[in-house]
Every structure is written in C-alpha cells, then in structure tokens.
Amino acid sequence: MRRHLPSGAGPPGPARADSRFGPAAADQARRTGRGGPDARGSRRTRVRPGRPGASTLALSPGTAHDRRIATSMLDGRWRTRAERVLDPVGRSLHRVGISANVLTVVGLLIAAATALAIASGHLLLGFFGVLLTGLPDLLDGSVARYSGKAGPRGAFFDSVSDRVSDALLFGGVAWYLADEGKYLPVLVLAVLALSMLITYERARAESLGFSARGGLMERAERMVLLSVGLLFDVLVPMMWIMLVLTAITAVHRFVMVWRQATAAQAADDAGAPPSVGTAALPTTPEGRVPDDRRRPRSRRVSRVPGRR
C-alpha cells in the first residue's frame, strides 16, 4: 500500500500549494507540510481568480455518511494498528540494510508463487501465501520512513505492485475455477475489473482535488474474503460477494465524487466574474467596476438627412 511520511513531518523543501486554492490553504500546507489543501482530513478552500475580496468557500470531501464509510473500512483502522505493531520489525529491517523497494519486490514474488499454488489446486498453501503477501505490504512503509526515503517514487511503485499482485492472485483463482465451470473465470475477471475501476476512481478523483476514499470493498476486504474462500474451499460464494460489494463501492465512489464536483462547479459559477464588457477591468471588493475605470459608452451619431 502507500508509504506515508511520519506524523508531523513533511517532504524536504517548502510545501507547494495549488495555485487554484486560496492563501489560507497555502498557509495550512506550509504549516503541516502535507503537500497542500487536499491532504487527508483537510478541507479544500477555493477562491475564484479575478475576484479581489471574494469570499472563500470551504468544500467538504464528502457527506457525513461518506466519511463514516471511509473510516470504517479495514484499510483505515486495521491497517494503522497493524503498522503500529509491526513498526519495530520495520526498524530492524532498516538496520540490516533491507530497503522498502526490496520488500515490495518480495511481496510480488510471494504473490506469483501463491497464484501458482492456487491455480494448481493447493488452496491451503494459497491461504498462507495470501497472508504472507500482505506482510511486506505492511512493512515497506515503516522501512521507508526509517530510511528517510519515503516519497512519491516509492508510493507509485507500491501502488503499481498492489495492482499486479491482485492480477496474479485472481488470475490463479480464475485458472483454478476454470475446471469447475465454464463461466466461473468470467466471474473472477469481473471482480478484478471492478476492483481496478474503484482504484481508478479514487486516483482520478484525487488528481482533480476531490476525495473518493472508503467503500464496502477495498483491497484489504478483498484479501480477507479471498483468504476465507481458500481456507474453507468456498471460492465461488466469496467471488459473488466480492462482485456485489465491489460494484456497490464503485457506484458509491462515483456518486460521492459527482456530488463534490457538482458543488465545486456551482461555486465556480456563482463566483464567476462578469463576462461581458468588464471581465478585463479591475473590480472593487464588492465586485463592481470603479466609475473612473468604466468604459465610455458609445455615442449615437444622428444622421443628417442628405448627408452620409
């Protein structure tokens, strides 16, 4: 998963705030060092350019219901506690010279071996493999923090490796279920496709300055249900549960981002400067053009009969 910086510490150098946001958000970014107004737990404050003195509008990342769902999933609560417990292990790995990227590669190799075990019908071995796959994923962030190399490159590599691991594991499940039913691999591929969709929804939303966190079925929940299916040999029911809950999560994230985008668009439209005649002129704090800067009205020239 993502490698976070230690609490209260920011990346080297001054934090940069998006020029689309107001000075209050920029000041918050400089004080927290978390990279701008779109950090977790912050509120986005947007100011329309070209409107001196215009009031700012604080946009919440989502409704209260959205925030409750976002904080109730395993990726939010369970992962934080697990990383706290494994933090001494990450410190020890850093001391012996193991880097976070090495742990990420190890996780990929374990996922590939687990996929082969599942495809060959060794479900119990696949169960333990899924558990081991998550271990490097919990440790790499701690190692990156202690090494002082936590940054966007490692976070990008980590996110891509998570998607590759998912593809390997579910590919192994699809291969195994191909012998039990003609269309069962399609079910597994549908689960994988929807999981990629909710990942894209979140990435695209955050790139636009919105929040799409949470949902009923994130990666941690998928791994739990996959482990249950492997342990008790109930992969088909678990795949159906994943399909339904992942589809609900995809719709939930779409609606959540749509509401935020609609509110932002309405705020932009309400705060837009006049577009006819005075858009390029300076305005007062009330949004009016000063009398001495108004453009002169065109004078109507009356025509004299017989003259052109």
- Structure confidence by residue, pLDDT tens digits, 143-194: 998 988 888 999 999 999 999 999 999 999 999 999 998 899 999 999 999 9
162 neighbors 219 (Cβ within 8 angstroms): yes
Choice among 86-95, 121-130, 267-276 with the minimum mean pLDDT? 267-276
Structure tokens, 116: 């082969």
Choice among 70-79, 93-102, 203-212 with the minimum mean pLDDT? 70-79
Residue range 22-42: mean pLDDT, rounded:
42
pTM of the model: 0.66
CA distances for 170 relative to 130, 190, 221, angstroms: 11, 10, 14
Structure tokens, 147: 């090494």
CA distance 223 to 168: 13
CA distances for 209 relative to 10, 43, 44, 173, 254, angstroms: 19, 11, 8, 36, 14
C-beta neighbour count of 266 within 10 angstroms = 11
Three-state secondary-structure class, residue 60:
coil
In the chain, how long is the greatest CA-to-CA distance? Answer: 104
Q: Is the pLDDT of residue 17 over 80?
A: no
First-to-last C-alpha distance (Å) of the chain: 79
Structure tokens, 228: 């249950």
Q: For residue 272, name the pLDDT band (cuts at 50, 70, 90).
A: low
pLDDT: is 81 or 196 the higher one?
Answer: 196
Q: Is the pLDDT of residue 100 over 80?
A: yes
CA distances for 243 relative to 111, 179, 218, 248, 258, angstroms: 21, 20, 12, 9, 22
164 neighbors 111 (Cβ within 8 angstroms): yes
Whose tokens are 């668009």? That residue is 265
Among the listed residues 258, 246, 265, 267, the one whose alpha carbon sits nearest the alpha carbon of residue 63: 258
Domains of the chain: 15-59 (no CATH), 69-265 (1.20.120.1760)
Q: Where are the beta strands (DSSP E) in 171-287?
A: none
pLDDT, tens digit, 9 for 90 and up, residues 194-253: 999 999 999 999 999 999 988 999 999 999 999 999 999 999 999 999 999 999 999 999
| DSSP percent split of the chain into helix, strand, coil, nearest 5 | 60, 0, 40
